[in-house]
Amino acid sequence: MGLPGSGKGTQGKILSEKLMIPHLSTGDIFRKMASADNEDSRLLSDYMISGKLVPSDLVNKIVRKVLLSGDYNDGCILDGYPRNLKQAEYFIENIDTQISSVFFEVGDEIVVKRIMGRYSCQSCGAIYNKYFDSLKIDGVCDNCRSTEFTSRSDDDEKTVLARIKEYKTETLPLVEYYKRKGRFFTVNAGGTKEEVIKEISLIAKKI
């Protein structure tokens, strides 16, 4: 859990490599679905561009189907789900698993700047930031050497502010909810990528 831009995606991928379990991001699933050309994908895209959450009944159905596909039997890093109490309750009732939750704590000003500078490699998905991360070779992905980059269409200022608002009303209550369930970890997500990686590595040993 954490504000958009708090580093869940970047750190989730790192944690997934450390723990050798797959990274599953509902945002990635929806971006892929929204890129198709049909009525459902346009509807999905409208939710995302407006900064609103996709309706939970649909999200729950999709996550359940993906999680039960067999690829996640040894666990996974769930990034961006559950996103509200309805999803959290559904998850506990319908998916038989043990959960550890990680809260990425960071202020609004930092995430707005991070999001506005965010871009990713079109080929491998590695995430960079024009304000905080310079590429080792200008215009070339450090990870896969591709030269094609892209930005998320919901990373403009108006959408970002709406996403922050939605986060505070829908997702923030989950922090108290998961604290009560135990196996809860907080990361100071306002530091540099390297500082957060250090914290995440310590958490990985306890999970």
Which residues form the interface with ligand AMP (CB under 6 A)? 4, 26-27, 30, 47-48, 51-54, 59, 80-81, 83, 87, 163
Choice among 114, 163, 180, 181 that is catalytic: 163
What is the nearest approach in angstroms of ligand AMP to the Cβ of residue 79? 7
As to burial, measured by CB atoms within 10 angstroms (0-12 exposed, 13-18 middle, 19+ buried), residue 111 is: buried
Q: Compare residues 53 and 196 and give the one whose CB is closer to ligand AMP.
A: 53
What is the nearest approach in angstroms of ligand AMP to the Cβ of residue 147? 24
Can you tell me the distance from the alpha carbon of 120 to that of 33, in angstroms, rounded to the nearest whole number?
18
Distance in angstroms between the alpha carbons of the first and the last residue of the chain: 16
Q: Compare residues 7 and 80 and give the one whose CB is closer to ligand AMP.
A: 80
What is the nearest approach in angstroms of ligand AMP to the Cβ of residue 84? 7
How far is residue 66 CA from its own chain's centroid?
Answer: 16
Q: Is-contact 18 203, C-beta < 8 A?
A: no
Q: Compare residues 108 and 140 and give the one whose CB is closer to ligand AMP.
A: 108
What is the nearest approach in angstroms of ligand AMP to the Cβ of residue 163? 5
Q: Compare residues 49 and 140 and give the one whose CB is closer to ligand AMP.
A: 49
Sole residue written with tokens 């992905």: 141
Choice among 18, 32, 65, 83 that is catalytic: 83
What is the nearest approach in angstroms of ligand AMP to the Cβ of residue 59? 4
Residue 83 designated active-site: yes
Residue 180 designated active-site: no
- Residue 151: CB atoms within 10 A of its CB come to 14
**Cα distances (Å, whole numbers) of residue 15 to 20, 69, 79, 106:** 8, 22, 11, 19
Residue type, 74: D
Residue 145 designated active-site: no
Residue 118 designated active-site: yes
Residue 193 designated active-site: no
Exposed e or buried b per residue across 116-127, where buried means at least 16 C-beta atoms within 10 angstroms of its C-beta: bbbbbbeeebbe
Q: Compare residues 83 and 114 and give the one whose CB is closer to ligand AMP.
A: 83
Active site residues: 8, 83, 118, 152, 163
